Amino acid sequence: MQCTVCGEENENEYCDECDKILKEIIKRVGEERWSAIDDSSYIYPMIQRAVKGELTVNDIINAMEVED
């Protein structure tokens, strides 16, 4: 199986690094708001950049605000 975000071979839907960032985003925005997002795939490139250290979780949340 591959990570849905970065494509890295993994046993789960998300690799450890992407999962960690994704969980932090969900924790900060809340389950209800996260569930209301129809297609979260636009966030995946930002998560990849956060894994590399180019963005922070706050940057991703701010970008989500613009999308809303």
pLDDT of residue 67: 67
Would you say 47 and 22 are in contact if contact means Cβ atoms under 8 Å apart?
yes
pLDDT of residue 40: 82
Each residue's pLDDT tens digit, 15-62: 999 999 999 999 999 999 888 888 888 899 999 999 999 999 999 999
The ranges assigned to domains in the chain are 17-67
Nearest to 13 by CA among 25, 1, 28: 1
pLDDT of residue 17: 94
pLDDT at 68 over 70: no
